[in-house]
Amino acid sequence: MHLYGTSGVNERGHLEIGGVDTIELIEQFGTPLYVYDVELIRERARGFKRTFEELGISAQVAYASKAFSSIAMIQLADQEGLSLDVVSAGELYTAIKADFPTERIHFHGNNKSEEELHMALDYRIGCIVVDNFSELTLLEEICTNREQKMKILLRVTPGIEAHTHDYILTGQEDSKFGFDLINGQAEDALRQALQSEWLEVLGLHCHIGSQIFQTTGFLLAAQKIIGKLDSWHGSIGYQPKVLNLGGGFGIRYTQEDDPLPASQYVEEIVREVQNLVADSDLQMPEIWIEPGRSLVGDAGVTLYKVGSEKQVPNVRKYIAVDGGMSDNIRPALYEAKYDAILANRPLDPVEETVSIAGKCCESGDMLIWDLPLPKAGRGDVLAVFCTGAYGYSMSNNYNRIPRPAVVFVENGEARLVIKRETFEDLIHLDLALHEAAVTNKE
């Protein structure tokens, strides 16, 4: 049993998070229930920021809110002095409603609409990460018409792909994101942006992958980008203020995962950039990073009640819970792996190996295959670890299942930060057949 953050077993023999008994949580808030360890999120945020400060580097640590966006989460990011990445008008709207300082908001995305760009300008956000020539031209036109300046980063694909332990050198031309650094697109975009009196090009941005357990990919990306920047400094006199090396720092989901400490990612990235800059004609840029999963992923636990079971002789035993792909689609979407325990009996000895099924009407609705557990039955509580990233944010109403509630726990207190959806919530946008608008065709 691997416990995260403030998790432990209390005197009642129950899983406890943030000083709060998880069984008491489900008695109050029901199941399924997302539970976030706030102290662990704060610890991760402070760890990233502290490392930059100790190294004496000007930096921004931006929370990638696509991992989990809610008003309370955005306010927590603000409390910890983080910047914020958004990728849609909805995420930007959430940040505005959370009173997040707009000058620390960065807007990402490969297909920002004209309305989204106007919204970003209306709220005078800190930076737009421009992804392609179409967006670059549109943004420049909008800024010109509004006579309003906007700071931008150009997203580039540096020819590095990284995932977990592997990294791949590739031309990277076939990507929906960014300007290719190798084929000349990035330089063309830079020259175009620099001609605009309304766009201030802060620097370059890249994101090489996710769930990365080594620094190799980040260092290779830095080498390629700074090499190009040094060349451009000589040819067009461009000096970047910012180098954004993205996120993707890995976390431990199961015993197969072995992530690095946050400080090590930062230290090695900074040292590499410093060495590269020292060997160039460039000045040291401000370093930006974008942790999402590594801030909230292992701070989240989902609690379920165990329901039915099915024994397939000589094959496997299935145990079903009262959630599934409607609250965690990652296992069905790309075979993500998780670990879990019985929250009401975490110290009981393992007696069997079972597979955890969700309740959705899909054969692929499986949360965990071959999980060692004590003998579990109806009414037991299953705690699935590391569901804090892309759990609630990718949740859905398949089979018209309401989305779960979200609770923050810290210092022995529980705060309901997202209410559980009701059946009425499920139909509040529906119109009866006689109410539906009719369009007459001539």
Question: Which pairs count as long-range contacts for 269-276, CB under 8 Å and 24+ apart, including other chains?
Answer: 269/215, 269/218, 269/219, 269/222, 269/245, 270/52, 270/55, 270/57, 272/218, 272/219, 272/222, 272/223, 273/222, 273/226, 273/243, 276/222, 276/223, 276/226, 276/227
Q: Is 91 annotated as a binding residue?
A: no
Please indicate if the annotation marks 330 as binding a ligand: yes
What is the spatial distance between Cα 68 and Cα 84, in angstroms, rounded to a whole number? 12
Annotation-wise, does 171 bind a ligand?
no
Q: Is the dihedral of CA 341, 346, 347, 349 positive or negative?
A: negative
* Residue 271, marked binder: no
Q: Strand pairing partners for 319?
A: 309, 356
Q: Which of 206, 360, 361, 386 is catalytic?
A: 361
Q: Is 390 marked within a binding site?
A: yes
**Residue from 247, 89, 234, 93 nearest 162 by CA:** 247
141 annotated binding-site participant: no
- Is 109 part of any known ligand binding site? no
364 within 8 A of 330, measured Cβ to Cβ: no
User: 115 φ, ψ to 5°?
Assistant: -65, -40
Buried b (16+ CB within 10 A) or exposed e, 56-68: ebebbbbbbbbbb
For residue 127, indicate whether it is catalytic. no
Q: Which residues are catalytic?
A: 361
Q: Which residues are annotated as a binding site for pyridoxal 5'-phosphate?
A: 248, 290-293, 390
Q: Which residues are annotated as a binding site for substrate?
A: 293, 330, 334, 362, 390
Q: Which residues are annotated as a binding site?
A: 248, 290-293, 330, 334, 362, 390
